[in-house]
Amino acid sequence: MSAPSNLRHTQTARPSSPHTPQQAPRSGNTSFASTTSPGSTFRNEDDAIIFEIGARWLRAGFEGNGTPVCAVGFGPEESRRVGDYRGWIQGAAGNGPLPKPLDAEDWVRDYELWQPDLRKIDLGLLEDKIERLFRETYNNYLLTDAGSSRLVLTLPSLMPHPLLSSLLSTLFSRWRFPSITLLPSATMSATAAGLRSALVVDLGWAETTATGLYEYREITTKRSTRSMKSLQQEMGRLLSCLETGEDHVAQGKDVISVGFAYCEEVLTRFAWCKPFAEGGEEPVQSVRTVSIPSPRNPAQEFIDIPFSRLAEPVETVLFATGIPESELDDEEKTIPLLIYKTLLALPPDARGTCMSRIVFVGGGARIPGIRKRILHEVSALIKTYGWSAVRGKAIERQRQRMEDLRISSLSIQSNGQKQKPPAGKNGESPAEDEKIEPSQEEPEIDFVEQKLRRQNKDTPVPVQGVLREVESLGAWAGASLVTSLKLRGMVEIEREKFLQNGLAGATRDSEPPVPDRRSGLRAGDRSSWTLAGWA
């Protein structure tokens, strides 16, 4: 009987499944943790989590990484409850034609988290959406507990205060975040491009903003309603006309009958921008067609349309082709005019620096040919008007009169030189090597500038005064870089102070406190918090 008992004892001691031998725990290497991929679990628990929040997308990830872990969009699919099967119905997901045409505003309302105009937004429902969005992002992508790490939010500085208050109230009241740091999107976009001064042009969803930065500080910001939302609606109208064969705009019906997801796919893949026309004449282009999925049945049918028609929404919305500048309001300026007005509002020294460091971000910056077209039109505005804000017919007549006088004086001077050449010292004509052309003037010698150049031979001369574009990795990458430096931001909101008074507890001082040797106050300490650029 002993043999079977030994056998049973051996079988029970054997493990039920294969496993690896236990080893000593790995040491936490912070340098390795900061360079791992976004999906790796080997990271430092003290690393902050960065969220970039916009009207259409949310990007989240850990500090030190070059790219976010996820990019989550807003739409009916993300708002469905348990038992809601509308996503499986034909056309409900936005890929096919709609059951009935919708108004342009109602067509996009379910796909955006907020609007600049908050009068028609239920802030309570908005807070519930924010809570669900953050909870699903933590549970499905970040795979960590909410509130266990520092939180950094990258937000546009033009965010309305009720929306900012709802966002902070939701995060502080439903999670145990000790503090939340706010970083401006425009400044982080310039940081990701390796710049301290720049003109950041954000072709965003609800509006287009142009922000002038000088030494990491926002000097001026101007915005326009010509944005990707209006472009999406205009593309939806065009595709609706292709589906029904009639012009809804001509009949006074601003309705759209195609799915949102289908229209967004066509806009992303086929929209393009025409090149700049010198002298106001459009360049001759080859007539060609392109096949796109049919608006009636995108899964099985295709239609052929002229390729130039897919550029019409960009021309109509972003450049207002055919509309004079005098008929445009201050809030609906074209993108080139918006950039020119922003540069005109900057001081001359900051303008020369920013115009040579133009950074394009946002979804509209990915349209083929749009950035080159914008720079060409801005250059044409500078050549026509200079850096003068004065406009009018009298100024145009005076400018044309001065130009005519300059041309006539040059022609008279050149004709007089041909008829009577200048005499030499002894009344004779000078030699060929002694002749001086009238149009060539000797440049003035700046001895101070020459001395500075000799002293700083190895220092590169910064580019100024010319229009130039600089690529950027985006606002999230800039926030990740700044956060990894372990620097405290100017807007660092503590939980207890915010729950006491909300946004009303913020002071109006936008400058950080000055270090004091007697009290031992450091530059990063905060006795009171401020909203800085969000004030």
Digit-coded pLDDT (tens) for 21-67 = 444 444 333 333 444 444 444 556 678 999 999 999 999 999 999 99
State how far the Cα of 101 lies from the Cα of 237, in Å rounded to an integer. Answer: 11
In terms of domains, do 38 and 137 share one? Answer: yes
Same domain, 37 and 176: yes
More confident residue, 227 or 252: 227
Range of the structural domain that residue 220 is part of: 194-226+327-391+465-471
**Tens digits of residue pLDDT in 276-287:** 887 655 555 567
> Per-residue confidence at 299, pLDDT binned at 50, 70, 90?
confident
**What pLDDT is attached to residue 533?**
76
Average pLDDT over residues 99-109: 88
| Nearest C-alpha neighbor of 103 from the set 261, 257, 260, 206 | 257
Do 154 and 66 share a structural domain? yes
For tokens 């208050």, the residue is 165
My answer on whether 141 and 187 are in the same domain is yes
pLDDT digits (tens, 9 = 90+) for 326-349: 888 888 999 999 999 999 999 999
What local confidence, expressed as pLDDT, does residue 524 receive? 45
Write out pLDDT tens, residues 152-161.
999 998 888 9
Q: State the residue for tokens 């040797």.
A: 517
Residue 141: inside a domain: yes
Domain end residue (candidates: 439, 471, 503): 471
Which of 329, 419, 345, 340 is CA-nearest to residue 378?
A: 340
As a whole number, mean pLDDT of residues 181-190 equals 95
Alpha-carbon distance 105 to 120, whole Å?
12
Q: Count CA within 13 A, CB hemisphere, residue 226.
A: 24
Asked if residues 255 and 248 have their Cβ atoms less than 8 Å apart, the reply is yes
CATH of the domain at 136: 3.30.420.40
Q: Does 90 fall in a domain?
A: no
Domain-located, residue 232: no
**CA–CA–CA angle 75, 80, 86 (5° rounding):** 90
CA–CA distance, 213 with 209 (Å, rounded to integer): 13
Percent of the chain with pLDDT over 90: 44
Q: Are 44 and 30 in contact (CB under 8 A)?
A: yes
User: Quick check: helix, strand or coil at residue 154?
Assistant: strand
Angle (nearest 5°) at CA 353 between 350 and 359:
110
More confidently predicted of 3 and 106 = 106
pLDDT (0 to 100) of residue 451: 78
Pairwise CA distance, residues 209 & 201, whole Å: 6
With bands split at pLDDT 50, 70 and 90, how would you rate the model's confidence at 3? Answer: very low
3-state secondary structure at position 180: strand
Tell me which residue has tokens 């996503």: 87
Last residue within a domain, chosen from 471, 488, 505: 471
Query: How many whole angstroms separate alpha carbon 109 and alpha carbon 111?
Result: 6
Predicted confidence band of residue 11 (pLDDT cuts 50, 70, 90): very low
pLDDT given at position 455:
73
Q: How many other CB atoms sit within 10 Å of the CB of residue 447?
A: 7
Residue 129 lies in a domain: yes
Pick from 289, 313, 316, 324: nearest CA to 303: 289
Domain boundary among 455, 471, 487: 471
Helix and strand totals (H; E) in the chain: 16, 14
Confidence of residue 2 (pLDDT cuts 50, 70, 90): very low
Q: How far apart are CA 397 and CA 404, in angstroms?
A: 10
Q: Residue 364: which of 229, 260, 467, 471 has the closest Cα?
A: 229
Indicate if the pLDDT at residue 515 is higher than 50: no
Q: Is 144 helix (H, G, I), strand (E, B) or coil?
A: coil
Same domain? 180 vs 153: yes
Is the domain of 70 the same as that of 152? yes
Residue 252: both structure tokens together: 């006074």
Within-domain flag for 81? no
Q: What 3-state DSSP class applies to 486?
A: coil
Amino acid at site 389: A
| Domain assignment of residue 506, yes or no | yes
Residues 334, 213 within the same domain: yes
Per-chain mean pLDDT for the chain: 80
- Domains identified in the chain, total number: 2
Position 148 in a domain: yes
The span from the CA of 267 to the CA of 271, in Å, is: 5
Position with higher pLDDT, 65 vs 517: 65
For residues 516 and 478, membership in a common domain is answered with yes
Contact 263, 239 (CB under 8 A): yes
pLDDT of residue 432: 42
Express each pLDDT in 211-236 by its tens digit. 999 999 999 999 999 999 999 999 99
Q: DSSP state, 427?
A: S
pLDDT category at 502 given cuts 50, 70, 90 is confident
Considering the domain architecture, whether residues 120 and 177 belong to the same structural domain is answered as: yes
| Contact present, 171 and 151 (Cβ < 8 Å) | yes
Cα gap 480→444, rounded to integer Å:
47
Q: Which of 35-39, 193-197, 354-358, 375-379 has the lowest mean pLDDT?
A: 35-39
* Residues of the chain above pLDDT 70, percent: 75
Helix (H, G, I), strand (E, B) or coil at 261: helix
Question: Is 270 among the domain residues?
Answer: no
Is residue 521 very low, low, confident or very high in pLDDT (cuts 50, 70, 90)?
very low
Amino acid 253: pLDDT = 64
Q: State whether 500 and 386 are in the same domain.
A: no
Structural element, H or E, at residue 72: strand 70-73
What's the pLDDT score for residue 219?
93
Q: What is the mean pLDDT of residues 315-326?
A: 90
Q: Please indicate, yes or no, whether residues 70 and 140 belong to a single structural domain of this protein.
A: yes
Verify that 137 and 212 share a domain, yes or no. no
Per-residue pLDDT, 38: 46
